[in-house]
Amino acid sequence: MTTYILRRLLISIPSLLFISLVIFLLLNLAPNDPMAQVPLTVPPDVKEKMRVALGLGEPLYIQFYKWLVKFFWVEPQVLIDHWFGTSFSQNDFRVISWQTRSPVMDMIVERLPQTLWVVGMSYIVGILIALPIGIYSAYRHYSVFDQAGTFVTMIGYSIPPFFTGPLVIVIFAVQLGWLPSTYDTVHKVVDWETFVVQLKQMVLPVMVLALQTTAQISRYMRSSMLDNLNQDYVRTARAKGLSEWVVITIHVLRNSMIPVVTVIALNLPAIFGGAIITEQIFKVNGIGQQLIGAIYANDLPTVQTITFMFAFLIVFFNLIADILYGLLDPRIRYD
């Protein structure tokens, strides 16, 4: 198992390098000019010096190399400095935003907790709801519960967040007045009352993101359970006199979780993509909103960094899914 993990890590390195190269080249082909927002009164020679200071006067391969070095070797130090309260002022060795002229990773670290609160909570809620629905729908397939669950999950999976977001705002914030329509980023939890306020403002964005997670995972869970309920080992376990609870939870569920683990692991980076739209709708000052703002401002370093972070998450959770296979199914061995 250790050999397999090391081999997968070694394979991930060239994969990430190739992905980073594709991201860098594609975004550099887009029309962008960091000097577009500079006032017209600035002399051309000053603009040229600013362009050189940003590293735009160098060949593309040099820019790509410097971007990789800055991302992999310096930015983790920025993260450590932010968490432990120390100072790190070597801005020449950081990825600098064209829009704000500040380190990109510093801005990401500031916005990351807001995104993690919304995305993490919605994913946990979605999984906790989806698994029981999928299990019971498979066990009572073609029942009223199964048909109702199929209908609801198909609707939830088909409707995009940019539709469900305004819809829940109209219903729960405008019409009923139960919940706030926007997310207060500067709100701090210091007592029970502030905790209730934080909980209320998280309900709507979490609801929108958890809807698609629940719909997708519950359908995979139901399908996988149905495949295993008809296997010979299930009939053998029942013939031995084992209780139905033991048969379902010990035998069927464990084998059924193997394909579902893939969906759960690989869907987490995808929900960050869904959070981009949701953060815009509910005014969550997170990474998604930062990415949209960077695209509007032609802030190429910020777009490159955030896009590559999403790609890194996909490769990382692919590895996590492969490791979980061996933990869930003893028959799977990696030589």
Contacts 24+ apart (CB under 8 A), 126-130: 126/209, 126/210, 126/211, 126/212, 126/213, 126/214, 126/217, 127/213, 127/217, 127/264, 129/210, 129/214, 129/218, 130/213, 130/214, 130/215, 130/216, 130/217, 130/218, 130/221
Domain contains 290: yes
Choose the weakest-confidence range: 2-11, 137-146, 156-165. Answer: 2-11
Q: What is the pLDDT of residues 194-218, one digit of tens each?
A: 888 888 888 888 888 888 888 888 8
Q: Closest Cα to residue 165, out of 204, 197, 200?
A: 204
Q: What is the pLDDT of residues 258-310, one digit of tens each?
A: 788 878 877 777 777 767 777 778 877 778 778 887 877 777 778 888 888 88
Domain contains 94: yes
Q: Which residues contact 9 (CB under 8 A, 6 or more apart)?
A: 319
Q: Return left, alpha or beta for 188; rule: phi > 0 is left, psi -120 to 50 is alpha, else beta.
A: beta
pLDDT at 311 over 70: yes
State the alpha helices, DSSP H only, in 140-252: 144-158, 161-168, 192-229, 232-239, 244-246
pTM over 0.85: no
- What SS3 state is found at 96? strand
The total of structural domains in the chain comes to 1
Domain contains 334: no
Q: Which residues contact 46 (CB under 8 A, 6 or more apart)?
A: none
The residue-averaged pLDDT of 250-265 equals 80
Q: By residue range, what is the domain housing residue 80?
A: 2-328
Domain contains 335: no
Domain contains 129: yes
Q: What's the CATH code of the domain at 315?
A: 1.10.3720.10
Q: What is the pLDDT of residues 148-195, one digit of tens each?
A: 888 888 887 788 777 888 888 888 888 888 888 777 777 777 788 888
Residue 118 and residue 185: Cα distance in Å, rounded? 11
Domain contains 333: no
At residue 1, the pLDDT reads: 65
Domain contains 40: yes
At residue 74, the pLDDT reads: 46
Burial of 14 (0-12, 13-18, 19+ CB in 10 A): exposed
The residue-averaged pLDDT of 18-35 equals 75
- The mean pLDDT value of the chain amounts to 76
